[in-house]
Homo-oligomer: A and B are copies of this chain.
C-alpha cells in the first residue's frame, strides 16, 4: 500500500468540502483508495518504517491533494480554434471556423499534430477524464483514442455521426458508422472507450439516428450529444421532428436517450416536460457556462435541474468555450448562476463553490466509474497542488482552495495521478 500525506480536499457530497488537514490517503496496488485518515493509525505508521511490509509513506507537507477534474463535453478537433472567432454568431462561427477546421482531420498527420497538443493540454490542466467529440474520420478518431491511452488518461472518444445540413466534406454514412464499430475491439474495462456521438438532431437523418441508437444498444455504449442549446435550434428540431413533444423526445424516439448512459450538453432552454424526460431517463446534463456565454446562448437553469434530481456535470465545450481549464468552468458555473439569481430577483439560489466543485469532480467522474472523490473504493485520480505563492499570509485551507480555484492555474499542479500512476507530460511532437 502506498500512503500519501497532504491536505486532502474533496466533495463526497455537493453541500460541503471534506477537508483533512495533514491527512492521509492509502492506495492499493490496483490504484484504488483503501483508507482515508485524519491521523495515520499507529499500526500503519509502524509498517511504513518496515521496508518488508510493503507499506510506503510519501509526505507532501503543506501541499493540497484534490480529485483530478472531469470534462464531460469537449470537441478535440476544435483545439486549434481555442480563443478564436468568439465575436461571431453561432452560424458564422460554425460555417466559417468550426466546420472547415474539423474537415482538416481527414489528414491523419494534421490530426496527430493537433490531437497531441489537445491531450497534452488536458494533462496540463489536470483534466484526467474527458468525454470527447472527435470528427467523422475513423482513422484520426482511432488515433485520438491511442493518444489518450499513451498518455495514461481516461476518456470516452466519439466518432461523430452527421449526414445532413452539413458541408459536403463533413458527412459520413450509416455504412461508415457500421464499419467503424465493426473494426473496434471494445473492452468495457478499457480506460479509453468509444461513445455514440450524433452531432445533434439537425445534422443527422432519421436513418443515421436510428442506426446510432441500434449500435448504442448492440455494443452497450454510452451516448453523447447536444440538446436545447439555443432557441432557434429548438425551433429547427421542432420542424424536423414534428411528432415529438420536445427536443429531447427526438433523441428518445431513436433510442438515444437513456437506453444506455447518456450525456446531453447545454440544456439552456429545457422546460418542464423535457426535464421530466431527462430525469426519467437518467440523463446527465453537461453544463457548459463558458460556451453558453461566448455563443450568447443564455444561462442553463442548473439549480432547477439539481432540484429536479437530474445529474449535472461540467464541460469546457472547447472551442465555443475558450478555456481548457475546469477551474475556469467551475468559476463561470458559479458566476452565471449568480446572474441567474440576480435576474430571478433572488428567487433561484446560486451554486456554492462546493456544489460547482462537486459537478467538476465527483458528479462528472461518476460517468466514468468510481472516481472524482477520495471515497474508499474509488480509483486514486488526483492532483497535487502547490499553492505556496498564493498562500503568503497564512490562509485557512478552505480559503486556500477558493483562491486556487479562482486565481490559480496549471502552474500550481505538481503531480497528476491516474489510478495512482504519476503521469508524465505527453509528447506534443508527432512520432
> Is A83 a contact partner of B405 (Cβ separation < 8 A)?
yes
Stretch from A26-34, A62-70, A335-343 at the B interface? A335-343
Say yes or no: A339-B293 contact (C-beta < 8 A), given A399-B84, A403-B83.
yes
Q: In the complex, which residues of chain B have a beta carbon less than 8 angstroms from the beta carbon of A352? A: 87
Restricting to A375-431, which residues have a CB under 8 Å from any CB of B?
A: 390, 392-393, 395, 399, 402-407, 409
Q: Are B402 and A84 in contact (CB under 8 A)?
A: yes
A334 within 8 A of B: yes
Identity of the chain B residue whose Cβ is nearest the Cβ of A409 in the assembled complex: B409
Q: A350-B296, A407-B322 are in contact. Are A402 and B341 (CB under 8 A)?
A: no
- For A343, list chain B residues within 8 Å (CB): 298, 343
Q: How many angstroms from the CA of A51 to the CA of B343 in the assembled complex?
A: 64
Cα A298 to Cα B323 in complex, Å, equals 23
Per a CB cutoff under 8 Å, which of B86, B230, B338, B341 touches A406?
B86
- Does residue A279 face the partner (Cβ distance < 8 Å to B)? no
**For A406, what are the chain B residues with a Cβ–Cβ distance below 8 Å?**
82-83, 86, 322
User: Among residues 276 to 323 in chain A, which have CB atoms less than 8 Å away from a CB atom of chain B?
Assistant: 290, 293-299, 322-323
Minimal beta-carbon separation of A113 from chain B (angstroms): 8
Contact residues in B for A114 (Cβ distance below 8 Å):
393
Q: Is A80 an interface residue (CB 8 A)?
A: yes
- Bound-state CA distance A230–B345 (Å) is 11
Number of interface residues of A (CB under 8 A): 45
Whether A331 is near chain B, meaning CB under 8 Å from some CB there, is yes
Say whether B342 contacts A339, CB under 8 Å. no
The residue that A323 contacts in the complex, of B299, B353, B399, B407, with Cβ under 8 A, is B407
Q: A353-B87, A403-B84, A406-B322 are in contact. Are A339 and B338 (CB under 8 A)?
A: no
For the complex, what is the distance from the CA of A272 to the CA of B185, rounded to whole Å? 66
Q: Does A238 contact B (CB under 8 A)?
A: no
Q: Is the CB of A403 within 8 A of B82?
A: yes
User: In the bound complex, do residue B407 and residue A341 qualify as a contact, i.e. CB atoms below 8 Å apart?
Assistant: no
A334 touches B86 (CB 8 A): yes
CB-based nearest B residue for A403: B83
Given contacts A322-B331, A392-B117, A409-B409, contact A342 B83 (CB under 8 A): no
Q: Would you give the shortest CB distance from A176 to chain B, in whole angstroms?
A: 28
- Determine if A86 and B402 form an interchain contact, defined as CB atoms under 8 angstroms apart: yes
Q: Is the CB of B402 within 8 A of A83?
A: yes
- What residue of chain B has the Cβ atom nearest to residue A404's Cβ? B83
In angstroms, Cα B393 to Cα A409, docked, is 24
Considering the chains assembled together, what is the distance between the CA atoms of A402 and B86 in angstroms? 8
How far is B85's CA from A46's CA once the two chains are assembled, in angstroms?
41
Smallest CB–CB gap between A14 and chain B, Å? 13
The residue of chain B having its C-beta at the shortest distance from the C-beta of A341 within the complex is B296
In the complex, what distance in Å separates the CA atom of A319 from the CA atom of B52? 52
User: For A83, what are the chain B residues with a Cβ–Cβ distance below 8 Å?
Assistant: 390, 402-407
Residue of B nearest to A293 (CB): B335
| Interfacial chain B residues near A336, Cβ < 8 Å | 293, 339
A341 contacts across to B, CB distance below 8 A: 296
Please, which residues of chain B bring their CB within 8 A of the CB of A295? Answer: 338
Give bound CA distance, A390 to B299, whole Å: 30
18 contacts between A and B (CB under 8 A): A82-B406, A82-B407, A83-B407, A85-B402, A86-B334, A86-B353, A86-B406, A293-B335, A293-B336, A293-B338, A293-B339, A295-B338, A296-B338, A296-B341, A299-B339, A322-B407, A339-B339, A343-B343
| A binding-site residues for B, Cβ under 8 Å | 80, 82-87, 113-114, 117, 230, 290, 293-299, 322-323, 331, 334-336, 338-339, 341-343, 350, 352-353, 390, 392-393, 395, 399, 402-407, 409
A-B contacts besides A80-B393, A87-B402, 5 pairs, CB < 8 Å: A82-B403, A113-B393, A114-B393, A290-B335, A298-B343
Top 10 A-B residue pairs of the complex, sorted by shortest distance between their CB atoms: A83-B406, A296-B338, A83-B403, A293-B335, A322-B406, A83-B407, A298-B342, A296-B342, A296-B341, A87-B353
